[in-house]
């Protein structure tokens, strides 16, 4: 794509109303656009990143035999009345009447809907365990929105739900998902991720963990102890009074985190109230045990921008960057550089590389500032400077890789293979 065609508005200077570094960068780079308070349009750049995060999640869900489905965004009230949550979660649920007068809601979560589907499928223990997940839009009537995609009313979630015969089987599977979460957050480029014990809240069940990105702009308070104990402050009632670790008695440290995922051992809360049963090996009717596994997909993008950015823009890794390569042509008097930049762009594009071309008639400084906001990990600069040696300058915007070990110029007759190699190298983080 050519940069002048990219339908994105970049801002320069200070951004009014943005309170955090990541939020500022999201606005300045034109990744998100506020359609209403708490509802954002993902622009071509923002959607590209989110879509890549979605595909990283899909790959990791494959490793735990997750089966992707898509449930409706809307639901009839009936299903939610079966568990009592139509009333108990009233404050966050958007409700409306259908044309026939029936009650509907926009699902803030999907335990009822997935249990209704799963009970229609499950008959025998031979089918267990299984895990269903979806990547989909949710809406919550949040009173408080915050920091762009960090806390919104409408957001994209990956929500997964597993069903098991025994608590032991759930625990084994829960551990596999726990490990998959660490892998996928790492692949997204998030660094300072930790798990903490959390309370189960509206979800029910007994054991739950949150995945938190440790970051000073986070709004959750985490209690951490050297002995390995880690919990969200809400875990205990009157948590503000707790200063000692409940496990070893040492002084607890307080740090801040951004919640990016959560997993719950739900037990039978939903399967029992919704009468989901199967026949076990002895021919007896049993109720399955359930786990659930959430990831705030749009919040993951926001979290990356809070953690991996400098004053000039975000730092994506190769897996999440909207473009792998940006080619910048800096015009010369002889008229050689721009056609060469375009030729390189065409070659890379024809070889399936996601590449952006900036051959605009702008000052070099403006082009570099835009390149920092778009943040392709590999940047080729076609200028007279290196052209005398038949070379193109190459720069990197990475933070998982020691870029001093990478070439800072490449031959104009042999760039394709080198760039393909570099992309491969930078892809394994």
Q: Can residue 300 be called a binding residue for its own copies (CB under 8 A)?
A: no
Please report, for residues 7, 235, 355, 374, 384, the alpha-carbon distance to residue 371 in angstroms, rounded to integers and kept in the order given: 15, 43, 12, 5, 19
Nearer to its own copies, 62 or 234 (CB): 62
Decide if residue 67 touches its own copies (CB under 8 A). yes
* Phi, psi dihedrals of residue 158, rounded to the nearest 5°: -100, 120
Q: 25, 49, 57, 79: which one contacts its own copies (CB under 8 A)? A: 79
- Residue 83 CB, shortest distance to its own copies, in Å, is 15
- Min CB(74)–its own copies separation in Å: 5
Task: Report the site for its own copies in 98-127 (rule: CB under 8 A).
Answer: 98-100, 104, 106, 113, 116-118, 120-121, 126-127
Span near its own copies by CB under 8 A; candidates 130-138, 204-212, 216-224, 377-385: 130-138
63 contributes a contact to its own copies by CB under 8 A? no
Binding test (CB under 8 A) with its own copies, winner from 8, 217, 328, 373:
8
CB atoms within 10 A of CB 267: 19
Q: Which is nearer to its own copies, 98 or 246 (CB)?
A: 98
Among 125, 130, 178, 401, binds its own copies (CB under 8 A): 130
- What are 136's two structure tokens? 């989909």
Residue of 262, 127, 139 lying closest to 205 (CA atoms): 262
- With CB under 8 A as the contact rule, the residue among 13, 14, 16, 70 that binds its own copies is 70
Say if residue 146 is exposed, middle or buried (CB neighbours under 10 Å; 0-12, 13-18, 19+): middle
Q: Which of 15, 18, 76, 338 binds its own copies (CB under 8 A)?
A: 76
- Take residue 71 and report the two structure tokens written for it: 């449930």
Using rule CB under 8 A, residue 16 touches its own copies? no
Other beta carbons within 10 angstroms of residue 381's beta carbon come to: 23
Q: What is the DSSP letter of 388?
A: T
Q: CA 239, 240, 241 angle in degrees (round to 5)?
A: 85
Give least dist CB 137 to its own copies, A. Answer: 5
Asked if residues 68 and 342 have their Cβ atoms less than 8 Å apart, the reply is no
> How many residues in the chain?
429
CB atoms within 10 A of CB 347: 15
The Cα 138–Cα 75 span in angstroms is 12
Determine the Cα–Cα distance for residues 382 and 346; give it in Å rounded to an integer.
Answer: 14
* Interacting residues toward its own copies by CB under 8 A: 1, 4-9, 30, 33, 35-37, 39-44, 46-48, 50-51, 65, 67-76, 78-79, 91-92, 94-96, 98-100, 104, 106, 113, 116-118, 120-121, 126-127, 130, 132, 134, 136-137, 139, 141-143, 153-154, 156
């Amino acid at each position: 794509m050519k940069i002048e065609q990219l339908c994105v508005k970049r801002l320069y200077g200070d951004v009014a109303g943005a309170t955090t570094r990541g939020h500022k960068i999201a606005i300045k780079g034109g990744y998100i656009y506020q359609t209403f308070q708490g509802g954002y349009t993902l622009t071509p750049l923002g959607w590209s990143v989110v879509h890549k995060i979605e595909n990283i999640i899909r790959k990791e869900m494959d490793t735990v035999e997750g089966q992707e489905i898509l449930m409706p965004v809307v639901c009839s009230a009936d299903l939610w009345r079966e568990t009592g949550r139509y009333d108990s979660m009233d404050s966050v649920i958007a409700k409306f009447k259908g044309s026939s007068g029936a009650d509907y809601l926009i699902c803030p979560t999907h335990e009822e809907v997935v249990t209704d589907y799963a009970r229609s499928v499950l008959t025998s223990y031979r089918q267990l365990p299984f895990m269903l997940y979806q990547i989909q839009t949710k809406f919550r009537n949040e009173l408080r929105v915050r920091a762009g995609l960090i806390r919104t009313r409408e957001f994209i979630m990956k929500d997964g739900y597993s069903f098991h015969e025994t608590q032991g089987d759930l625990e084994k599977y829960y551990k596999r998902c726990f490990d998959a979460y660490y892998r996928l957050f790492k692949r997204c480029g998030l660094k300072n991720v930790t798990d903490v014990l959390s309370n189960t809240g509206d979800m029910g069940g007994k054991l739950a963990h949150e995945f938190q990105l440790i970051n000073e702009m986070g709004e959750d308070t985490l209690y951490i102890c050297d002995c390995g104990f880690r919990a969200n402050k809400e875990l205990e009632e009157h948590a503000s009074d707790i200063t000692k670790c409940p496990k070893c008695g040492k002084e607890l440290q307080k740090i801040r985190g951004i919640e990016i995922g959560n997993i719950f051992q739900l037990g039978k809360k939903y399967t029992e109230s919704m009468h989901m049963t199967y026949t076990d090996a002895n021919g007896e009717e049993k109720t399955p045990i359930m786990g659930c596994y959430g990831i705030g997909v749009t919040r993951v993008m926001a979290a990356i921008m809070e953690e991996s950015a400098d004053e000039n823009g975000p730092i994506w890794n190769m897996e999440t960057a909207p473009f792998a390569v940006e080619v910048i042509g800096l015009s010369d008097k002889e008229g050689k550089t721009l056609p060469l930049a375009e030729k390189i762009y065409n070659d890379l594009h024809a070889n399936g590389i996601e590449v952006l071309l900036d051959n605009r008639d702008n000052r070099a400084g403006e082009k570099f500032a835009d390149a920092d906001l778009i943040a392709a990990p590999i940047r080729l600069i076609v200028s007279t400077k290196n052209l005398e040696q038949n070379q193109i300058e190459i720069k990197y915007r990475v933070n998982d890789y020691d870029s001093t070990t990478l070439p800072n110029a490449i031959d104009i007759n042999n760039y394709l293979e080198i760039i393909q190699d570099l992309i491969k190298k930078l892809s394994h983080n």
